[in-house]
Structure 1
Amino acid sequence: MSLNPVALEELVRRVLLEDVGPGDVATSAVVPEDVRCTAQIVAAAPGILCGHPVARAVFRALDPSVEYTPLVPEGSEVDAGAPVASLSGPARPILTAERAALGLLQKMSGIATATRRLADGIKYYHARLVAGWETLPGLRLLEQYAVRVGGGQVQPYGLAGGVLIRSGHLALAGGVREAVVAARKSAPPLSRVAVEVASLEQVQEALDAGADILVLTGMDPETVKRAVEQASGKAVLEACGTADPSHLIEIAKTGVDIISVCDLAHSAKSIPFRLSIEGAKAQEKEA
């Protein structure tokens, strides 16, 4: 499991451009340029650690000589007070990158923690846990990575990655059948066509039109179960769930193939981390 290095580099550049801008006034004023330090990133609450590659990239973007060493593997469960990474190098870039690096680490660890909790709850059922389409442009790369680290799966990265016919498409196309047929004609040959359906009548329309994936929206568990029986394996069925583990179990019991949690990425509570400076000294100058 890895992050696209080109996309990560661009994301980090934009994050630092926003957070640091023309410079870190406080650090430049207080910390001499020749001071080096060692530090640790410490978890302030229990959770699933996610984001080592991102935190490393943030620190090293400001100074490639900064050494970032993970102390626990990516995806590990950590306790409050546990050191998760060590840092050494010039003090200024370490302090300047602190807020951005820890902020991303906190957000990604929160998503991974929430995902692991939900995925573990349905691991003995047929259904797969998938993060919904509601990830944020600009942070989608990190949000989807964190979901995978937590044990979930993700939707296509962007609108070009798959065909999802939503309710707005249905209203403008004239119905389920019309929208699916139109998508089949225009989409790339190997594309799978997914369509949102809100009733058992629309389920049948979608099946008759040859849709590959039926996204069951606004249905209670009993209706989802009936939709599963109606489809009888002719299409992949995806039901929308919430971040409530008990609700996910009820949905999983219906026999549906996929459970998507729309707010999984953006509603997860961040896991706090702090930077602990351990030692500092001025760099010895050459004679």
Structure 2
Amino acid sequence: MNWLVVDKIIKGALVEDGSYGDITTEAIIDKQNLCSVDLIAKENGIIAGLDVFKRVFQILGDVEVNSFIKDGEEVNKGDIIGKVSGKAVNILTGERVALNLIQRMSGIATLTNKFVKQLEGTNTKILDTRKTTPNLRVLEKYAVKVGGGVNHRYNLSDGILIKDNHISAAGNIKEAILKVRKYSPFVRKVEVEVESLDQVKEALQAEADIIMLDNMDIYTMKKAVELINNRAIIEASGNMNINSIKEVASTGVDYISVGSLTHSVKALDISLKNLRNI
């Protein structure tokens, strides 16, 4: 992860949560008081974001976080993930920001891992998308990797993906590919989104490097894979869910992109409990 970006995210979140201080904590807790508190999993899942969690308290200062596990490890309900010790005011001030981040990242890693396990025994890999929370993409894409998934392009300047609106604007797939090849460095792969077998043929004729089969039924997808015949990398996309991806993988596609990994994930329930003065 780019820690300059991560620090900006954390500092922005701390400002959002306490623009004028934490009036409850400041009224109750003496600035010199020290305490420790347990980081506890309240449900089963895959943990991601421990270093981000720690970084919140490093920025606030005078707090130490000791983790008992590593990112990517499974936890069960009731497991103690780590211990946070130090200045009580800083622990309580940073608690919600730190938990919000690790909960969301762990939720993404947990869901990604469920998708990945569905594809065990196949050669197909799970991809994320750009359907991420604004300004949290670096964290969410990291969490996908922790869960065993693969990152698609990070942003618009990271890779070429010609979608339906680009094709409409250019006139056809061939013209769109010609334009991007003239505009972009030769080292960049060109991916094009297709919705029919005729568009698959057009993409092959234009020598696309990656062909995305968008919202195709299984029969059409199988025909598309046969047609491509290893002449391009194949990605399947469009409303993929945990119950359908095994059948999609059976068609022979190389990747399946799943927007729900990041755009509608449930956070993993994690809390800071058992505060003790020290």
Query: Is the contact made by 2:26 and 2:89 (CA closer than 8 Å) also made in structure 1?
Result: yes
Q: Does 1:75 align with 2:72?
A: yes
State how 1:137-152 maps to structure 2 within 5 Å: 137-152=134-149
**8 Å Cα contact 1:242/1:248 also seen in 2:** no
Q: Does 1:215 align with 2:212?
A: yes
Structure 1 counterpart SS, 2:168:
helix
- What's the Cα RMSD here? 1.1
| Aligned positions of 1:255-274 closer than 5 A | 255-274=252-271
1:171 lines up with 2:192 in the alignment: no
Count of residues in correspondence between the two structures: 278
Identity over aligned pairs, percent = 39
Q: Does 1:238 find its partner at 2:235?
A: yes
Question: Given the superposition, is the C-alpha separation of residues 208 and 243 from structure 1 closer, same or farther in structure 2, using an over 3 Å criterion?
Answer: closer
Residue in structure 2 matched with residue 284 of structure 1 by the alignment: none
Residue 37 of structure 1 contacts residue 88 of structure 1 at CA under 8 Å; is this kept in 2? yes
- Which stretches in structure 2 are left out of the alignment for 5+ residues? none
Provide the secondary structure at the position in 2 that maps to 1:40: strand
* Distance (whole Å) between structure 2 residues aligned to residue 177 and residue 89 of structure 1: 62
- Of 80, 97, 101 in structure 2, the residue corresponding to residue 100 of structure 1 is 97
Q: Distance in 1 between matches of 2:130 and 2:138?
A: 13
User: Does residue 161 of the first structure (1) align with residue 152 of the second (2)?
Assistant: no
**What amino acid is aligned across from residue 256 of structure 1 in structure 2?**
V
Letter of the 1:147 partner, please give it.
V
Q: Could you tell me the TM-score, scaled by structure 1's length? A: 0.94
Alignment deviations for residues 174-225 of structure 1 (CA, whole Å, 9 cap, x no partner):
0111111111111112000111100000001011001111111110111111
The residue aligned with 2:50 is 52
Residue ranges of structure 1 left out of the alignment (5+ in a row): 282-287
**Number of the residue aligned with 2:117:** 120
Q: Which residue of 2 aligns with 1:61?
A: 59
| TM-score with structure 2 setting the length | 0.97
Runs (4+) of structure 1 exceeding 2 A deviation are 241-246
Corresponding residue number in structure 2 for 1:33: 31
Give 1:13's aligned amino acid.
Answer: K
> How far has the Cα of 1:241 moved from its partner?
5.2
Aligned-partner SS, 1:119: helix
Residues 62-105 of structure 1 show CA distances to partners (whole Å, capped at 9, x for unaligned) of: 11x21111111211110111110111100000001000100111
